[in-house]
A = this chain, B = another copy of it.
Amino acid sequence: MKTREKILLASLHLFNEEGESHVTTVDIAHEMDISPGNLYYHFKGKEVIIENLFDRFEQSFGEILHAPIKNELKIEDSWYYLYVVFEEIYHYRFIYQNLSDLLQRYDSINKRFRKILNTKFQTASSVIQALRSGGIIIIDDDSIDVLVNNIVMTVTYWIAYSNLREGKQSEQAILHKGVFQILSLIAPFLSEGKAEYRDFCKKFYQQSMNP
């Protein structure tokens, strides 16, 4: 692995663990056992490192959000899809843990993050509308907006909220609980089979937590 790549991985690790605002380029160089001068040769400051990491997040998350939505939506498929969404956010959680501050300090990332939020909104909206067209859920237009806002908010803040509410947990536990939370919020709108859907979600959740 090239030094440049090693620096990015070490930075991502430190940002996620310590919080981005608490990590300096000297910390990163120290963690990697290289000189600050060597680090500077590859990246001219922390902002450049953050932009490079954000580029990666933007690209991979964009691909996930633009993944085609199948018409026959199965609960298992939704579960895995949402799991992948949360997994990607968890992988770059330093962005989400301190969102307002980060966006305030890095103006270029601010605009791009808002775009991602918009895509999240559109994707969630398409899925809910597909569920309605397929007759799987019954929901009026006003409630769609509320539900979609709620899904996007949960996707965005779940990891921070879960950490705050329940303290240290495994990555798996945090992510599965997030998926369960979102799917449970859709349940009340099911046209039929509500009880079966809930039972399935609960069973799937329990199996995922104790494989």
A residues contacting B by CB (< 8 A) are: 19, 21-22, 97-101, 103-104, 113-114, 117, 121, 140, 142-143, 146, 149-150, 152-154, 156-158, 160-161, 163-165, 180-181, 184-185, 187-189, 198, 202
Contacts and interface: CB of A to CB of B under 8 A. Distances in A.
A84 B152 CA distance: 25
Contacts of A157: 153, 156-157, 160-161
Nearest to A97: B100
A65 to B, nearest CB: 16
A189 B161 CA distance: 24
Contact of A150 (B98, B121, B150, B152): B150
Contacts of A153: 153-154, 157-158, 161
Given A99-B164, A142-B202, 13 more contacts: A19-B100, A19-B104, A21-B101, A98-B101, A100-B164, A103-B164, A142-B198, A143-B187, A146-B184, A150-B150, A153-B154, A153-B158, A153-B161
Q: Among A143, A154, A165, which residue has the most Cβ atoms of chain B within 10 A? A: A165
26 contacts: A97-B100, A100-B160, A100-B163, A101-B101, A103-B164, A114-B164, A117-B165, A121-B165, A142-B184, A142-B198, A142-B202, A143-B184, A143-B187, A146-B180, A146-B181, A146-B184, A146-B185, A149-B165, A150-B150, A150-B185, A152-B165, A153-B153, A153-B157, A156-B161, A188-B188, A188-B189
Contacts of A189: 188
